[in-house]
Structures are given as C-alpha cells and as structure tokens.
Amino acid sequence: MTATQQSTIADAALRRALDRGVDLARLGPARDPNPRVGCVLLAPDGSVVAEGAHGGAGTPHAETAALAAAGQAARGTTAVVTLEPCAHHGRTPPCAAALVEAGVAAVVYAVPDVTTAGGGAQVLAAGGVEVRQQPHPGAEDLVADWARAARLGRPHVTWKIASTLDGRVAAADGTSRWITSPQARRAAHAVREQVGAVLVGTGTALADDPSLTARDDTGALLPEQPLRVVVGTRDLPAGSQLSRGLAGAAPTADRTSPADTPHPGEVVHLRTHDPTEVLADVRARGVHSVLLEGGPTLGGAFWRAGLVDELLVHLAPALLGAGPHAIPDLGIGTMADAARLELVEVTRLGPDLQLRLRPTRPAQEE
C-alpha cells in the first residue's frame, strides 16, 4: 500500500473505530426498512473527529450525520463505516457522493452493500477517495437479517414446530401445554428476541391466548421484543393477551399504514389469509425476519406458498397417539414428491431435541 491517508492510521485505531461504529449503529431501531449503520471520522493521527449513526428511515444516514457534526473538519479524514456507503437516491441523497464532496480522503467499510443501493465503493474511487473493505463480525451481524431479506425480496421465514415424537402438537382433548421442556421454551424465547416479528393465526390466538413476548427465566421481558402479528379474519376476544396489545396502540393499529413502524412488542392484526400479503406488510414495517409460531394451518399456508426458508423443530420424547398433527396436508400424493429437508443442526435442550432444517429446494423468491 502506498503512503496514503489510510496507511497513516494504525490498524488498531481502525478496529477501534469499527467497534465504535457498531456500538453507534445499535442505537438505531432494530426494526426498520433500512439497515443499522454507524460511522466514525478519523484524523490522520487516528483521533476521532466526529461520529454519526442512522436513526431510521427518513433520517440522515450515518455518514451524512458524521459529516454534519464535523463540518469543515471532515476534509482529509478517513471515514470508517460499518456498511459500504450507499450510491442511490432515496429519501436521502447518496452517502458516497456526500463523502466525496466533503473532501474525505479515505473510506474503510466493513460490509459490502449487495443491494440496489450498493456501488458506493466505485463512486468513491471514481471521486479520488481511497477505499478498502475491512471485515468486522459485529458489523456483519448487524445487517445479516436486512441483507438476507433484501436478497429474498421479503423477510426470511422460520417455521417453528414443537411436537411429540409422533408428530402431535396437542392431545386429543386439545391441551398443548406443555409439550416441550423448560429448556426448549427458554430457547424459543431467545429466538423470539432475535427475530423481527412473531406470527400466529387467529386459531392459535383463540385457543392458547399467547402473549408472544420474549422473556427470561424469571418471566421478565427481554430487551428486544418482536412485533406480534395475528393473521386471520376473526376478531380477538376482548381481554386476551394479544388484544390488550392492540388496545394500547393507535386506533388504526388493526391495519396501520406500513410507514408507521410499531413500537417493540406491539400487536398488529392482519385480516388476510394470504402469506405473500402478510410478508409484504411486515416488511414495510421494517421486519427482516419472521418466526411462524402458529399451528399447522398457518405454517402449512406459508409452506404451500413456497415461503418457508427454515424449520426449527423442538421434538419432545413423548407419545400421544392422537391429537392434531404438526404438519397439515401439503398436497403430496406420492413418495417421489416428498418434501426433503437438509438437517443443518441438532441441539439437545434438556430432554428435547432442537432440529434446524432447510428445504432442499429453494424457497420462492419474489
């Protein structure tokens, strides 16, 4: 490398700046149409000139926020960014052009932007800015769900099933608590904290009266809560756990404008049975990953639509012999057409097993 702006800054200072960028990015909303991004402007001696973070859709991007904070001091700095600066005109101008115009000498970014907003590195290089990528695991984790949803054109969908060894999700009398162990339920709550939305059908909502919140072993709410989504046309009974979430929301929360991103843990009732419509709606609300926790009807509908990317099966060593099946009729009439799955991971959760599987044929991509 030639004696350029980047080479005057020690790698350790760049790593610290990326660490700080990740911390800044986490200040942004976890559920948002845009990715969470942080930016740190460094002087040639490695000292921090200014910082910026993206506050959500419609607000300045991290790079432009940092440039605004720095003013004229941005000239000659190195911009350290968690995601490749964008090159497209959206609600805000392209960051790559803003960095060139501000006279930034170099840009170090952690994760390439593989979406239609990408291409910022080329714009920067064409503008005389030195550019290079420096991978950072924390930055990659920040945008993994967003990037995956961007590739799919919809949120990533995981179908969670908790069943007995003989594939039952409830007993003959309808009771279903508890099929799996406390360890499995603890793991399920951890998954809820990680996804953007948890979906159930009205059938499950009426039968089980679930809260769908993410909680720890003591029952306390975890820091990150998913959007709770009920799918179907039937009304939720007054006083149920999910209807209380609706009651505390805006009067139009039953079908709010997609531009109105709900608060964490809010309940949204989507009065449709169309999986594609459901995913389009929650994506517009900034959701990049979805967990199907409803019964066989909801999961089967998404599967038949080709919209299941992963299955998470909690298998209890118990037999019922009767009761509802975990998997509905999928329209498969012969063994040659059996839905084959790739076993990705097996984890023991107390007495139960957790199986993570993927369809061997790609889920439908829009």
Please list the active-site residues.
63
Q: What count of other Cβ atoms lies within 10 Å of the Cβ of residue 342?
A: 10
CB–CB of 29/56 below 8 Å? yes
**Residue 25 neighbours by CB under 8 Å, 6+ apart:** 36, 37, 38, 53, 54, 62, 82, 139, 142
Q: How far does Cα 138 stand from its chain's mean position?
A: 15
Q: Bridge-partner residues for 42, per DSSP?
A: 48, 78
Nearest in space to 224 (alpha carbons), one of 183, 185, 259, 196: 196
CB–CB of 74/67 below 8 Å? yes
Place of tokens 């099946």: 325
What strand order describes the sheet that includes 78-83?
48-53, 38-42, 78-83, 106-111, 130-133
